[in-house]
Amino acid sequence: MYGRKASELVRELAASDPGKISSFNNELFAQAIEECDGHFLHLHPLIRKVEDNESKLNEATSSHDGSEVSEKEKGSLRASLKSDQFGALIHHLSLVRNKRCLMAYIYNRAEAIRSLAWVVDRVLPEEIQQKLITSEKEYFKKHISALQQYMLDVDLQLTVDTIPPKDPYIKVRVLDDIGQVALSDQIANLSKNAIMFLRRIDAEQYIRQGQMEELTR
């Protein structure tokens, strides 16, 4: 059945949790593309046949040179024309449907990848990178680069405190030996298992990278 492979990609999207990214289904995507190529190869010869039969039928019904075309031949031309028209329509609609399903698959994955810019730092976690194809990884790099440049231009960190905090300082535990770093209000030695109060804007990047965890008071 035409369109089955492409529709399976859409069902895969619908079955996944919102905002979650599953591994790119290369096999199913390639099969849908292959089906599109097949429709394209069938469509063009059918269109040429439709044009030829339309031309022959027009000549047969408006001939003034004395030649006669039997009604049987005209009927055969009409039947052949109708068959080719329906065949071309089926391949055309199947091609359009597949295209819409493929575009929906790519677009929804791109939306999920773009949303990652608000919850991770410049580098995607390894478990997420394994689920992306090369073009998706490049898309994320370009998007995060554009976002970082915009925040630099307007001098505003948009990825921090998307929900206004009640307190600018939070209690954190350091999970890795980060070492001495310059924070916005102090020079701090972020050694493993250290518990300290830091400004949320300073701690957020380390929390996103899994190097710190926020502690509830």
Residue with tokens 């970082």: 148
**Under a CB-based contact definition with an 8 Å cutoff, are residues 29 and 120 in contact?**
no
Torsion, Cα of 197, 201, 203, 207 (10° steps)? 140
**What are the phi and psi torsion angles at 169 (to 5°)?**
-110, 145
pLDDT number for residue 159: 75
pLDDT number for residue 1: 66
Name residues of the chain where pLDDT drops below 70. Answer: 1, 60, 62-70, 160-165, 217
pLDDT number for residue 66: 46
Is the pTM higher than 0.75? The answer reads no
Task: Give dist(CA 190, CA 196) in Å, integer.
Answer: 9
pLDDT number for residue 63: 57
Length of the chain: 217
pLDDT number for residue 69: 59
When the pLDDT of each residue in the chain is averaged and rounded to a whole number, the result is 84
Looking at 69-175, which runs of residues are DSSP E strands?
A: 169-174
pLDDT number for residue 200: 84
Q: In this structure, how many other beta carbons lie within 10 angstroms of the beta carbon of residue 181? A: 12
Angle of helix 4-15 versus helix 26-61 axis, rounded to 10: 140
